[in-house]
Amino acid sequence: GHQAYWVCPMVRENESEELKLGNELHKAMAQRVSKGIPLPTAFRVYEEYAQAFLERANRLPNPVILVEQKWAINRDYQLVGYFAKDVWFRQTLDAVAISKEAGIGLQWDWKTGKPKNDPLQLLLGAAMLFTQYPELDGMLNEFVWLQHGSRTTARLMRADVPQLWAAVLPEVQKMEHAYNNVMYPAQPNALCGNWCQVESCPHHGL
């Protein structure tokens, strides 16, 4: 299963050097994929991944390439504005290629952290794409772990989307209950040691 995190609405994450670097890398990859702008010298080592995405995308019939797309849905799984009052779920997708003719698409997510065997974020991104594009029947999704030279692949078919949401909803309901009742039980995770801003947590720094 996926990692449970301590939900705490009172803490705003500071932009660390690592986060700033990650944001700059995502922006550079978006410009490279969408506009052909060369990667800055510091990121030139990742050129092979930008090329790999474009090569895969261009194998599709008449591909539409999208970068840094922000989409949102409400509780009825209908598309809404990213900041709509009834927004229920938001997702930002790094690099997407859609072929309406073939009914298939690619979704690649650039990652700068350590590889994790948890494709949930990818699958939810694919679910959003199915909502956005009714012509799609299947999505091939990949985490690209840039600093580790590896990729994690997850496929999703349109017919599997209801089962995916059914698996996710119990965890969402737990989060909603915690938020509505101001109950945030501490859960240890990989961020405790170096990145967590919640100093009052018993797991902080461990």
Q: What is the DSSP string of the chain?
A: -PPP----TT-PPP--HHHHHHHHHHHHHHHHHHH-PPPPGGGGGGHHHHHHHHHHHTTSSS-EEEEEEEEEE-TTS-EE-TT-TT--EEEEEEEEEEETTTTEEEEEEEE-S---S--HHHHHHHHHHHHH-TT--EEEEEEEETTTTEEEEEEEEGGGHHHHHHHHHHHHHHHHHHHHTT-------TTTTTT---TTSTTTT-
pLDDT (tens digit, 9 = 90+) per residue, 24-53? 999 999 999 999 999 999 999 999 999 999
| pTM for the predicted model, two decimal places | 0.79
pLDDT (tens digit, 9 = 90+) per residue, 157-194? 999 999 999 998 887 777 776 767 765 556 666 555 55
